[in-house]
Amino acid sequence: MTKQEKITFVIETLNKLYPQIPIPLDHKDPYTLLIAVLLSAQSTDVRVNQITPLLFEVADNPYDMVRLSVDEIRKIIKPVGLSPMKAKGIYGLSKILIEKYNGQVPASFEALESFPAVGHKTASVVMSQAFNIPAFPVDTHIHRLMYRWGLSNGKNVVQTEKDAKRLFPKDLWNKLHLQMIWYGREYSPARGWNLDKDVITKTIGRKTVIKEYLKKKSRR
């Protein structure tokens, strides 16, 4: 298969499996999405979706959020992990939103990435899912799949994002990155991976990855 044929195969397979794709984090507007994505760092979407209703019941906008202390925010979000840093970030960015942006989340990578506790991936998710601006947020699933499929060298997420943006059509990025996350979770996980169920890797996967998988399987 040529690289272009591989890309077409990936897109067609993902569209068949996930014609409609749900956004993993529960939210109602750009602000609640920004907070949910910030909380999801080194945590699971399931855990975040359990905690955000408790937080948003008290404060679902920057004005209510800054009425809480950093410590009060930290106590609510503690189960998601890294709570001291995340609480400071939530309080700090809420303050900036009020002072600089009339309480509205800006649709700008530069502005979002200037907020405390907000990195490029968080900004990309918000730009993509809240504002429908093309972005390709790379999480651990996408990073793993791009390597397994021989579409990136797996060196780092920055390189993986560059490769994904170069290879896939821009108008598909927002849908495709979500399809890939769901596919990675269901069919091509890091642990308990079953190649027979993983039709994309089985068809176009990196030869060394498949060889290593079969080698480990034969040892069992």
182: confidence class by pLDDT, cuts 50, 70, 90: very high
Average pLDDT, the chain: 96
Q: What is the mean pLDDT of residues 183-211?
A: 97
pLDDT value at position 60? 98
**What DSSP letter does each residue of 4-19 carry, written as one string?**
HHHHHHHHHHHHHH-S
Q: What is the mean pLDDT of residues 107-117?
A: 97
Q: Which of 6, 121, 163, 198 is catalytic?
A: 121
17: confidence class by pLDDT, cuts 50, 70, 90: very high
**What DSSP letter does each residue of the chain carry, written as one string?**
--HHHHHHHHHHHHHHH-SS---SS--SSHHHHHHHHHHTTTS-HHHHHHHHHHHHHH-SSHHHHTTS-HHHHHHHHGGGS-HHHHHHHHHHHHHHHHHHHTTPPPS-HHHHHTSTT--HHHHHHHHHHTT--------HHHHHHHHHTTSS--S-HHHHHHHHHHHS-GGGHHHHHHHHHHHHHHTS-SSS--TTT-HHHHHH--HHHHHHHHHHHHH-
Q: What is the mean pLDDT of residues 78-91?
A: 97
pTM: 0.92
CB within 8 Å of 131: residues ≥ 6 apart: 30, 107
Q: How far is CA 161 from CA 26, 72, 152, 166, 205, in A?
A: 24, 36, 9, 9, 18
pLDDT value at position 91? 98
pLDDT value at position 218? 87
Q: In the chain, what are the domains? A: 3-20+137-219 (1.10.1670.10), 30-129 (1.10.340.30)
Q: What is the mean pLDDT of residues 111-123?
A: 97
59: confidence class by pLDDT, cuts 50, 70, 90: very high
Whether the predicted pLDDT of 220 surpasses 80: no
Whether the predicted pLDDT of 124 surpasses 80: yes
Q: Which of 139, 162, 165, 175 is catalytic?
A: 139
pLDDT value at position 144? 98
- The question of whether 26 is a catalytic residue gets the answer no
With beta carbons less than 8 A apart as the criterion, state whether 125 and 138 touch: no
With beta carbons less than 8 A apart as the criterion, state whether 177 and 142 touch: yes
Cβ burial of 134 (10 Å; 0-12, 13-18, 19+) is middle
Q: What is the mean pLDDT of residues 81-85?
A: 97
Give me the residue label for tokens 């359990």: 50
- The question of whether 162 is a catalytic residue gets the answer no
Q: What is the mean pLDDT of residues 12-33?
A: 96
Whether the predicted pLDDT of 154 surpasses 90: no
Q: What is the mean pLDDT of residues 43-63?
A: 97
22: confidence class by pLDDT, cuts 50, 70, 90: confident
